[in-house]
Structure 1
Amino acid sequence: MKKTFLTLMLATLVIACGQEKKQPINTKIMNIQYPEINANNFEQKLAASVKHYEKEPMYYMRINKSNCVVEVLVNDYKIYKDYELSNLATPEEINHAILKSGEQTLTYRLYPVGDLIKEEYGEGGTVTTLTDNTAIAISIIKMDSNSEKTLEDEEVIIKHVSLTDAKGRFIASGKPYYEFTFSFNAQVPYVNEGWSKGQDLSKLDQKVLEQKAVEFYKEYGKIYENKEVDLQAKLNFGREKRAAIALYKKLSDIDGLWEEYLVDFNKKNIKTQPIDNYKKIFFGNGRIVFLLYQSLEYPYRGGGALRVDYIDKDGDEAVFMPNISLYLPEGKKLEDGLYMIN
């Protein structure tokens, strides 16, 4: 009797543990726009979606900052964030945020350095405002990726330097935040739909919107726990397709991309955390919703509310935060759920 009882107890524990680790995914909550995509054809379908042209203009952002940290958006789509004291050595590609030819906007947001100077040099206090010496310089440059030219042959589209007062002090000195937007023109041979045909989410029922976003984040987390690689491919195809088209990617550029996705599935002891301590924010002029995890600590700052814990190769606890940006295509009902952006 004891043996039978213990056997039943162990079997029950195994089943319970299995259920805890692998809960079924409600795919009705996560709308799928590319049902034909799977892990096996992901790269092939991406390569087939790209057209090539006689001229393939590439746009880059060259940025340099001091006494601040920064976030940058092109067409209200976040393309860059830097919460360190250092600067980029190479320019940043921005084509994936340029959906079509015409006027584009660039917005930068500056924040104080906080404890970075104290952490880096072991002296000084916490900096809670921007300073007299805060500064940023941004250049938009253009290259033809289909030519043999290098970045030394770049064409400068526009240069911007942050504003100062009559005494040369940063115009927002003493403030905890500063934002500035300027425009530039870009000419590209492609047209990406992206989120352009999405509904203005800021005008919809905000309680329902938040509920649907949280539900999507929760179900998305199960993808890693259940190792649903085909579902991952379907959901992320639109975003990768936009980038592949905008960057004129060749098959050699795409080859190995799916392997990068698989890295997250192969992590040890994967466990998603509750969706909490977040703030609902909009991008894409109200067409994109993102749940921002509200922490200024590394590595959480600027990341989404879905946090996936795991054990790294050194046996230490670590976390990754998938970028889940959602929208609602025209003609769709919010009650039926949201979609990953294209």
Structure 2
Amino acid sequence: MIQQTIKDKQITYTINATATIPVAIYFNDIKISEENTPLNSSVDVNGYALKNGKYKIKIQIFPVFRRGDTTVSPEDIKSCQFSFGSFVRDRETGDILNPKTYSQLSLKAPDSPVPYFEQEWEVEIKDLPYELEGWSKGQNLSKMDQKELEKKVVSFHQNVREILNKGNGNTWADLTKKRAAETAVFYYSTPEQSASSVNENKTNVEKYCTNMMIPLEDYEMKLYAGGQLVTLEKKSHTMEFNNKSPLDIKGWGALIRKGQKTGAADYRILLYLPEGSNDFVIIRK
């Protein structure tokens, strides 16, 4: 299917964002950007749209924690700009081709400061050349006992943390094979590119994660996609982390690797529970 998709049909849908204050972007009821981070880039949404259809975009704007702000001003909100569009990426050169803007996501700012700001829009995706199963056949986790669900989710994260901390790249590659297979489809990778990406991720775990994963703590469980996806995220703000300031890891995935000298990276795992199964599957990040 990937090979049959000619280049000008390899469409990537995206949300373009310009914000100098912390924002979080949700697509299809899934958080697709880190919280508490200004954005001046585009956020691809193909991985979270399983097929053509109508979807909701939600954007939240937060106070600047590192400044000690407790509210967001109308002026700050008005300074943020968002739009929904698409492009084609040349996988050989990385160039962006045929960029399009379908709608400006105009913000309706309040008249006075607010603790945080939130707004939603509906958009339509029409030209994806594929359909993905993703989590569409997953159980509705919101209907489960939430304490028991959290125990199960924490246990899975603890197991994955141990695998990463041991630098076990082969086991990590096996755990993420379904995610990798679908990523190859929505990223329009060739079989060679997909295999190279899997090998690179495996090597990075072996090289950078060994004995570098922080303890699994200070997390909260989050449900996404109408209750079909679940993950753990850090729940507390930080002013600095691992010799990097400012660095706020609130909202990151709970599996975090410290950098060799400074900073950090998270290994966010979005999990679903297939129908008739008791075993989580990693489907996105």
Same fold, TM exceeding 0.5? yes
Task: Name the counterpart of 1:105.
Answer: 56
1:221–1:308 Cα contact (<8 Å) kept? no
Task: Name the counterpart of 2:253.
Answer: 304
Alpha-carbon shift at residue 251 of structure 1 (Å): 4.3
Distance in structure 2 (CA, Å) of the matches to 1:142 and 1:197: 27
Determine if the alignment matches structure 1 residue 137 to structure 2 residue 81: yes
Amino acid in structure 2 at the alignment position of 1:160: L
2:73–2:112 Cα contact (<8 Å) kept? yes
Q: 182, 189, 204: which one pairs with 2:121?
A: 182
Task: Name the counterpart of 2:2.
Answer: 50
Determine if the alignment matches structure 1 residue 290 to structure 2 residue 242: no
Alpha-carbon shift at residue 328 of structure 1 (Å): 0.8
- SS at 2:176 equivalent: helix
Query: What is the aligned-residue RMSD (CA, Å)?
Result: 2.7
Q: 70, 76, 82: which one pairs with 2:23?
A: 70
Task: Name the counterpart of 1:158.
Answer: 103
Identity %: 25
With the length of structure 2 as denominator, give the TM-score of the two structures. Answer: 0.83
Shift in alpha-carbon separation, 1:179–1:155, aligned structure 2, 3 A = same
Amino acid in structure 2 at the alignment position of 1:264: V
- SS at 2:34 equivalent: strand
Distance in structure 2 (CA, Å) of the matches to 1:217 and 1:277: 13
Alignment of 1:140-289 (within 5 A): 140-145=84-89, 151=96, 153-163=98-108, 170-171=109-110, 173-187=112-126, 188-251=128-191, 253-254=193-194, 256-257=196-197, 258-267=199-208, 270-289=211-230
With the length of structure 1 as denominator, give the TM-score of the two structures. Answer: 0.70
- Note the alpha carbon deviations across 1:54-103, whole angstroms, 9 max, x for none: 4222212211224x311112112222236345622xx3322111110111
Distance in structure 2 (CA, Å) of the matches to 1:77 and 1:218: 23
Distance in structure 2 (CA, Å) of the matches to 1:84 and 1:111: 9
Amino acid in structure 2 at the alignment position of 1:208: E
- Note the alpha carbon deviations across 1:250-275, whole angstroms, 9 max, x for none: 24643542224422321376144432
Distance in structure 1 (CA, Å) of the matches to 2:201 and 2:281: 22
2:87–2:97 Cα contact (<8 Å) kept? no
Alpha-carbon shift at residue 185 of structure 1 (Å): 0.9
Alpha-carbon shift at residue 323 of structure 1 (Å): 0.8
**Segments of 4+ moved more than 6 angstroms:** none
Alpha-carbon shift at residue 322 of structure 1 (Å): 1.2
Amino acid in structure 2 at the alignment position of 1:53: T
> Could you say which structure has the greater relative contact order, defined with CA pairs below 8 angstroms and 6 or more residues apart?
1
Shift in alpha-carbon separation, 1:104–1:172, aligned structure 2, 3 A = farther
Alpha-carbon shift at residue 157 of structure 1 (Å): 1.5
1:212–1:337 Cα contact (<8 Å) kept? no
Amino acid in structure 1 at the alignment position of 2:72: L
Shift in alpha-carbon separation, 1:143–1:86, aligned structure 2, 3 A = closer
Shift in alpha-carbon separation, 1:53–1:153, aligned structure 2, 3 A = closer
